[in-house]
Amino acid sequence: MQRPSRRQLALAPNGNVGNDAFFTFDVRLGWAIKPVKKWERFRIEPQAAFYNLFNRHNYNGPDALLAGTLDGGSTSVNGSTKATRLPLLTGLGSGVFALGAPRSMEFGFKATF
């Protein structure tokens, strides 16, 4: 009886990196202004929001984690280095929602009556 052949896995390259620790610090400031006392419920609320306030680079966001395959490719666990993971840098998305993207600001205005 023959033994099944064993495949040799590629070794991890020097400077191998894993999934990055995701970090973002968002803050939103808003305040209420009651311009007319006659209208008790009328309020104006200017707002300012800052996303990723400290502007930290985030690699391997929730939608771009390293693959569990051990094929030595640039997106696999045993093939990713600092130089090859640059395409996995989280960038600006479409619209307002861009989790972990570079620093961005948003200004808003809300009227309640």
Residue by residue, DSSP assigns 37-89 as SSSTT-EEEEEEEEESTT----BS-TTSPPBS--S--TTBTTT-BTTTTGGGB
pLDDT tens column, 20-59? 788 889 999 999 998 887 888 899 999 999 988 998 888 8
- Its pTM stands at 0.66
Above pLDDT 70, what percent of the chain?
A: 88
Domains of the chain: which residue ranges? 12-113
